[in-house]
Amino acid sequence: EIVVTQSPAALSVSPGERATLSCRASQSVSTNLAWYQQKPGQPPRLLIYGASTRATGIPARFSGSGSGTEFTLTISSLQSEDFAVYYCQQYSNWPPVTFGGGTKVEIK
Amino acid sequence: EVQLVESGGGLVQPGGSLRLSCAASGFTFGSYAMSWVRQAPGKGLEWISIISGGGSTNYAGSVKGRFTISRDNSENTMYLQMNNLRVEDTAVYYCAKDWANWNAYFDFWGLGTLVTVSS
C-alpha cells in the first residue's frame, strides 16, 4: 500500500499571501496524484489531477507540481473562500486508493 | 448538472447491517466507475470501494469480506451493502464519480450519508 503523507498538518496564512502545501508518497506514483479541497460540512472538491492539471472551474491561483514522490499545491494569493482542509490522493497503484491526512489552511 | 444523492445511513448496532444507495443523474451513469469514500468524525478521507461501469469491483482491506458494492445501470444507482458493522465503521459515507472508467480519482461527490455504529 502506498502511504501518502501531507505536511504541515496546519498552516496559518494571511489573506493575499501564498500558501504552499506538501504531499509525499512512500513510493513513486509518477504524476498520478490529485488534490481536493474540503470545507466544513461539505464534500471534497477536486482541484488538481495528474499532479498539475486544474479541474474544471478551478481558479488559476491554484497550481500543482511534482512527480514521483514529492508534490506541492500552491495557492498564489489566498482568498477568504480558500480557508479549508486540503487532501492529496494517489491513484497510481491501487487498490487501495490512498489519501493523505490533510492540511488545514487557517486564517492568520 | 451532475448530482449524486446518498441515502440509507442511520444508527445500527455492532454486528448489524445497512444498505446505502447513491442515486446519480446528469451524466451517462453506466460509462463511469463509481466509488464509496468515507470520513470518520473529525478525521480524513478513506476510500473503501470502487465499481466499474461494467461491474468489476475492488475493496479496501478494512471492509473486504464485509461490504459489497453493486450498481444498477438501468436505475442509475449504486449500492453499498454493509454487513457485520463495527464501531470503527462510523463515518459519513460519500459516493464519488470517477473521472472516467477506472481512473480512481473523483470529480463529483455527493453530500454524504452518516452511518453510526453504536450499542
pLDDT the model gives residue B100: 85
CA pair distance B64, A66, nearest whole angstrom:
33
pLDDT at residue A10, rounded to an integer = 97
**A6 touches A21 (CB < 8 A):** yes
Cβ atoms A80, A17 nearer than 8 A = no
Q: Do B110 and A43 touch (CB under 8 A)?
A: yes
Q: Does A57 touch chain B if contact means CB atoms closer than 8 Å?
A: no
Minimal Cβ distance to A89: which of B50, B105, B111: B105
User: Do the chains contact at A91 and B111, CB–CB below 8 Å?
Assistant: no
Residues in chain A closer than 8 A to B99 (CB atoms): 49
Interchain contact, A96 vs B61, CB within 8 Å: yes
Task: Tell me the chain A residues in contact with residue B109 when contact means C-beta distances shorter than 8 Å.
Answer: 43-45
pLDDT number for residue A97: 96
pLDDT for residue B101: 81
* Out of B46, B105, B112, closest to residue A43 by CB: B112
| % pLDDT > 90, chain A | 98
- Is the Cβ pair A49, B105 closer than 8 Å? yes
Listed as ranges, residues in chain B with pLDDT below 50 are none
DSSP B6-36: EE--EEE-TT--EEEEEEEESS-GGGS-EEE
Instruction: State how far the Cα of A11 lies from the Cα of A28, in Å rounded to an integer.
Output: 26
Report residues of chain A scoring pLDDT below 70.
Answer: none
Residue B102 has what pLDDT?
Answer: 87
Distance from CA of B111 to the nearest CA of A (A): 6
